[in-house]
Amino acid sequence: SKEEEFKTYTTARTNERAVERLQELFPELQVHGLELVKSDIDPMRGVLHLDCCFQPIGTQEAIIYENGFKHKQDVDYLKDLFGEKNLIKVGQEEFYQMFPNIFSIDTDIIVSNRSFIRLNSELEKRGYKVEQIPYDEVAKMGGLLRCSTMPIYRENQ
């Protein structure tokens, strides 16, 4: 097949209508749409999902790759929401290695790639228990920890 035939299938995963629908479903909450930098050509620049450049952790902190957001006001919004000192900033190479794509299994327990030495050290310094696992080979397929987990839903007993 020709590449041109598939260009019509490239779409945004979340659009303005989805943001409006979320606001309708949760009127008591403020829904804030965040636009990410996209690139189908340069993987060092394009952000696939929000959790590739932003990850809330604990109860009031987050990991952020500021250059992953298309608009500076979105970064400013997150800084105001979490507080500058509560953000762990990652650089472009760390973004590319998917540092933000870790996941929490509790407010103080985080599962991370063991090769994320700087991030893991910073998380431990902030009081988190970091479960470090070897995940470099999985990352080569374009995803990391959050991309390869499935939530478990349990009924209350």
The DSSP bridge pattern shows strands 61-64 and 54-57 to be antiparallel
**What confidence tens digit (pLDDT) does each residue in 18-77 have?**
889 999 999 999 999 999 999 888 888 888 889 989 999 999 999 999 999 999 999 999
- In this predicted structure, what is the pLDDT of residue 3? 53
Lowest mean pLDDT, pick from 22-26, 79-83, 94-98, 134-138: 134-138
Above 50 in pLDDT, residue 1?
no
- In this predicted structure, what is the pLDDT of residue 49? 86
DSSP result, the chain: --GGGGGGG---SS-HHHHHHHHHH-TTS-----PBP--SS-TTT---SGGGTEEEETTTEEEE-GGGBS-HHHHHHHHHHH-GGGEEE--HHHHHTTTT--EEEETTEEEEETT-HHHHHHHHHTT-EEEEE--HHHHTTT--TGGG---------
Amino acid at 141: M
| Of residues 58 and 16, more confidently modeled | 58
Rounded to two decimals, the pTM is 0.83
Question: Closest Cα partner for 56 from 128, 148, 7?
Answer: 128
Q: Which residues of 105-127 are buried (b: 16+ CB within 10 A; e: fewer)?
A: eeeeebbbbeebeebbebbeeee
- In this predicted structure, what is the pLDDT of residue 8? 52
User: In order of start, what are the domains of the chain with their CATH numbers?
Assistant: 35-148 (3.75.10.10)
The encoded tokens of residue 80 equal 């105001």
